[in-house]
Amino acid sequence: MLREIRASLRARLLVAIGAILAIGAIVLSLAAWQYAATAARDAYDKLLAGGAVQVAENIYMQGGVVTLDPPAAAFATLSAYDLVFYRVTDPRGVVVAGYDDLTIQAPQGALREGVVLRDGVYRDQPVRIAAVARRLDGAPGDGWSEIVLAQTLRARDGLTWDLASKAIGLIAAMSLLALVATALCLRLVFAPLTRIEAEIVKRRPDDLSPIAITPPREVRALVGAIDGFMQRLSERITLMQRFIADATHQLRTPLAAIDAEVELLSGQTSDPAALDKLRSRISDLARLTSQLLDHAMIQHRAQAPRFVATDINALAKSVLSQSVPLTLDREVSVSFVASEEDAVVAADAVSLREALANLIHNALAHGARTRLMVRVERTAESVAIVVWDDGPGIAADAQVGLLVPFQKGDGSHGSGLGLAIAHEVAQAHGGRLRFAGNVGDFSVAIELPLDKQ
């Protein structure tokens, strides 16, 4: 997964933007929580301070004694979700109402100036405490009574969570929406690159023309570099094709001349065996050179296939007539059997001719003792060109190895390219090379699918 993300520019951008949005969401969520806590604290502090003031306003002197008329409305508001505790102390320090052990750590001067708010713990519960002092005329001592009002924090925490959860939910929704919008924007941004990719993918291997789509300005240099590379590659391929054609002519001409010279010397030498050996070596060299050039041509055509409707009956008959020499060192009966049904398939006739010619040469050189037959077989799914001979055949365990270039069978003096060329041509056509039979009844077939386009 990590490797896929690193390989995708779109994924990397999404991950980077997603990480930034996640960090931003976390920071905003913390800020929202802090704001919600402050808002809840301020709201309930005002209620608590107002309750303390109402309690203070309900203190009066009766018979020389400080008396409290508890404000029911204030207590009802404060005790809706929380526990409320209070204490009223007269100027002598005597508790006249409430809880004796409820205290606040605040100087008396601050209480006389206004409401003082503090955090504290009362009866093992965290509380918020408000305290204020009120001067009563006629009260003993200095006349200042102290009022302390405490409230637990359950309602504050509930309000904080309610405000924070809504804000965090909104932040999460906006972050997700931003990420989705980013993904859509990236899709739109990369759409021209996707179209360029699609154009390159659907091209034929031999189409090296410049990209037709006008690229965005940001990737124009990249597309220009690709076009330049394809132009240089096209020039190289043209040079290679020209070299192969020139090499074919330049190599085959002197080899043919050498063979002719050997024929002229055959009546003048005193050692016919040596001359036959030289002729055989020259023939092997000519065959190897031809197969090497054919192999290069086949590989190139496999990368740039040109399939056209081809009559396999006519092609096989023509190749057989051209591949069998007029003279052989032994008597071999050569025959051709055409398919009775139509045998037209989409194929590259040039490479198919070379493949069949190599199979026929292999059968004459290493297989056929007295008989060689080429026949075309048609089935519902395929057309096969079968080269049959009455020779020793190829052992089953050696057949796969001989499909690799330059792999030779036991006792073979060939180049090891004939079957490899035929195998590559069959694969380029979506078919296969098929072996069948044994000693005295052996065949190799190029099987081509009928639906190959």
SS (H, E, C) 230-249: HHHHHHHHHHHHHHHHHHHH
d(CA 52, CA 223): 77
Contacts by residues 86-89 (CB-CB < 8 Å, ≥ 24 positions apart): 86/55, 86/147, 86/148, 86/149, 86/150, 87/146, 87/147, 87/148, 88/55, 88/59, 88/145, 88/146, 88/147, 88/148, 89/145, 89/146, 89/147, 89/148
Between the CA atoms of 287, 290, 291 and 293, what dihedral angle is there, to the nearest 10 degrees? 160
Residue at a domain's end among 304, 335, 368: 304
Residues 124 and 252 in one domain: no
Instruction: Decide: 86 and 98 in contact? Cβ < 8 Å.
Output: yes
- Residue recorded with tokens 């052996």: 442
Between the CA atoms of 266, 272, 273 and 275, what dihedral angle is there, to the nearest 10 degrees? -30
Q: Residue 383: in which H helix or E strand, if any?
A: strand 382-389
Query: Residue type at 212?
Result: A
Q: Is residue 364 part of a domain?
A: yes
Q: Is residue 193 part of a domain?
A: no
**How many domains does the structure of the chain reveal?**
3
Pick from 318, 375, 317, 384: which is nearest to 345 by CA? 384
Alpha helices per DSSP H over 81-209? 108-113, 154-201
Question: Which SS3 state, helix, strand or coil, does residue 337 take?
Answer: strand
- Which residues make Cβ contacts (< 8 Å) with residue 265, sequence separation at least 6? 275
Q: Is residue 385 part of a domain?
A: yes
CATH number, residue 324: 3.30.565.10
Residues 99 and 48 in one domain: yes
Residues 243 and 274 in one domain: yes
Residue at a domain's end among 250, 278, 304: 304
d(CA 398, CA 287): 23
Q: What are phi and psi of 183, to 5 degrees?
A: -60, -45
Residues 228 and 247 in one domain: yes
Residuewise pLDDT in 10s, the chain (453 residues): 545 545 677 788 888 898 999 999 999 999 999 999 999 999 999 989 998 998 888 888 877 777 888 888 778 888 877 899 999 988 888 888 888 888 888 888 888 888 999 999 998 999 999 999 988 887 777 788 899 999 999 988 999 999 999 999 999 999 999 999 988 888 888 888 788 878 888 877 667 788 878 777 777 888 888 888 888 888 877 777 676 666 666 666 666 666 666 666 665 655 666 666 666 666 666 655 665 556 555 555 555 556 788 899 999 999 888 887 755 667 888 899 998 888 888 888 888 888 888 888 888 877 788 889 999 998 888 899 999 998 888 877 777 766 765 555 554 544 556 688 888 888 888 888 888 888 888 899 999 998 644
- Residue recorded with tokens 């076009």: 227
* pLDDT computed for residue 350 by the predictor: 82
Classify residue 91 by its DSSP letter: T
d(CA 375, CA 312): 10
Q: How far is CA 303 from the centre of its chain?
A: 26
Separation of first and last alpha carbons in the chain: 37
Query: Residue type at 290?
Result: S
- Which residues make Cβ contacts (< 8 Å) with residue 88, sequence separation at least 6? 55, 59, 66, 68, 95, 96, 97, 98, 145, 146, 147, 148
Residue 433's domain comprises 306-453
* pLDDT computed for residue 178 by the predictor: 92
Residues 63 and 109 in one domain: yes
* pLDDT computed for residue 24 by the predictor: 92
Pick from 123, 56, 58: which is nearest to 84 by CA? 123
Sign of dihedral through CA atoms 365, 366, 372, 375?
Answer: negative
d(CA 146, CA 137): 14
Classify residue 216 by its DSSP letter: P
d(CA 143, CA 90): 8
d(CA 12, CA 2): 10
Q: Is residue 171 part of a domain?
A: no
Q: Is residue 278 part of a domain?
A: yes
- Which residues make Cβ contacts (< 8 Å) with residue 445, sequence separation at least 6? 377, 384, 385, 386, 387, 433, 434, 436
Q: Is residue 166 part of a domain?
A: no
Residues 41 and 152 in one domain: yes
Strand pairing partners for 334? 372
Residues 329 and 424 in one domain: yes
Q: Is residue 155 part of a domain?
A: yes
Give the global pTM: 0.48
Q: CA 300, 444, 426: angle at the middle one, nearest 5? A: 25
Residues 280 and 367 in one domain: no
Q: Is residue 2 part of a domain?
A: no
Residues 267 and 328 in one domain: no
CATH number, residue 255: 1.10.287
Residue at a domain's end among 254, 283, 304: 304
Residues 44 and 142 in one domain: yes
Q: What are 157's two structure tokens?
A: 């925490």
How many residues appear in the chain? Answer: 453
Residues 16 and 71 in one domain: yes
Residues 281 and 321 in one domain: no
Task: Output the CA–CA distances (angstroms, integers) from residue 66 to 85, 89, 276, 316, 389, in the order listed.
Answer: 19, 8, 144, 128, 132
